[in-house]
Copies of this chain bind each other. A is one copy, B any other.
Amino acid sequence: MKELKLILMGFGAVGKGVAESISIKRNNIKDKFGIDFKLVAVGDSSSSAISANGLDEKLLIETKEKKGTLDKYPEFGSNINGEAVLDKVDYDLLVEATPTNIENGEPAKSLTIKAFNAGKDVVTSNKGHLALFFSEMIEIANQNNVEFKYEASVGGAMPIINFAEKTLPSSKIFSIIGILNGTTNYILSRMTIEGSSYKNTLEESQQLGIAETDPTQDVEGIDAACKTVILANSLLGIPATYSDVEVEGISKITSEAIGLAKKEGYFIKLIAEVSKHALKVSPRLIKKNSPYAIEGTLNMATLKTDLADEVTVVGKGAGSIETASAMLTDIINIIKIKYQK
């Protein structure tokens, strides 16, 4: 059976989800596509495990969770990290799941370009390099004639890139308006239901692990703005970058404002708008029974099109396995393009 040799860089929540998904779906993928996944290297921020004969997904997760770093992986763990990992073993496809860095897009940018230049396909969940250097990344991928897929970077398990490209190719997309950040949607939903303050709700969300210790990227709209840029470039052909997005977060929203809106039949949501006229993330009033009235950590997006009119998709914007499922879908779509002819 044909093997697909994968390197996975980044072994936090999403990376571990990828390893787990591969373990769950290996036999299914063998049956359906005649491809056997082999994880030949996995890197975290400081170390890695590398073996041309393949690593064990469950042992990788156990090593990371019990011992903290991958250099403790039996026999094949080492201090090799970053780009050096890609030189140590032959591979077909890089699964890039390092944390988003909106300052310079690293290490995702360098890892991805290195893979492209070696003729390897890349699947990513990262937003930084795409939000800062979208056109450049696509150009380098095209120059090397490799596949570059990033479904997980926008909606987690909510299909949006594939959704537009594969289910609506007959229609022109005019705009995408949606809720692209689950953490802020959770905070606003709780504030609406409980009448609680922003500060208390944020703290509660941090205790539940929904908001991060440093919540800036989520609550100030940075995460949603990155996704806005990715959608603008990929689905609307607008060559925008991060600084083109007008951004306002939710940290100044009071429980009084939410209460007033609620009385009048409205919710306050952090809405991302992607169109030729606006690239914008801001709190907006939305009607109670509209498709935008989703609760909790869900993401949603409404695409306005010419022939199909308005189409809406809703799904989990985060979660380890959920986000990994989008990356696995990207890998399967690459298999269909490149390995099944």
Question: Which A positions have Cβ atoms within 8 angstroms of B?
Answer: 21, 24-25, 28, 151, 157-159, 162-163, 166-172, 288-289, 291, 293-295, 305-316, 319, 321-322, 324-326, 328-329, 331-333, 341
Chain B residues lying within 8 Å of A307, measured Cβ to Cβ, are 21, 24-25, 157, 321-322, 324-325, 328
What 10 A-B pairs have minimum CB-CB distances, sorted nearest first? A159-B167, A307-B325, A170-B328, A166-B166, A312-B314, A157-B308, A311-B315, A162-B167, A308-B325, A170-B329
Chain B residues lying within 8 Å of A314, measured Cβ to Cβ, are 291, 311-314
**Complex CA–CA separation, A318 to B65 (angstroms):** 51
**Complex CA–CA separation, A294 to B289 (angstroms):** 8
The SS class assigned to the A binding surface is mixed
A41 to chain B, nearest CB (A): 21
A298 to chain B, nearest CB (A): 9
Chain B residues lying within 8 Å of A158, measured Cβ to Cβ, are 311
Picked from B163, B170, B312, the residue with its CB within 8 Å of the CB of A325 is B170
Can you list 20 residue pairs at the A/B interface with Cβ under 8 Å? A24-B307, A151-B167, A158-B311, A159-B167, A159-B311, A163-B163, A166-B166, A166-B167, A169-B332, A169-B333, A170-B332, A289-B293, A307-B321, A307-B328, A309-B319, A311-B315, A311-B316, A312-B312, A312-B314, A312-B315
A191 to chain B, nearest CB (A): 15
Chain B residues lying within 8 Å of A331, measured Cβ to Cβ, are 170
**14 further interface pairs, Cβ-Cβ under 8 Å (given A170-B332, A314-B314):** A25-B307, A157-B308, A158-B311, A162-B166, A167-B167, A168-B329, A169-B329, A169-B332, A169-B333, A305-B325, A308-B322, A308-B326, A309-B322, A310-B315
- The reply to whether A311 and B311 form a contact with Cβ atoms under 8 Å apart is no
Chain B residues lying within 8 Å of A295, measured Cβ to Cβ, are 289
A38 to chain B, nearest CB (A): 17
Chain B residues lying within 8 Å of A322, measured Cβ to Cβ, are 307-309
Least CB separation from A163: chain B residue: B167
Q: Which of A308, A312, A331 has most chain B Cβ within 10 Å?
A: A308
Chain B residues lying within 8 Å of A310, measured Cβ to Cβ, are 315-316
A158 to chain B, nearest CB (A): 7
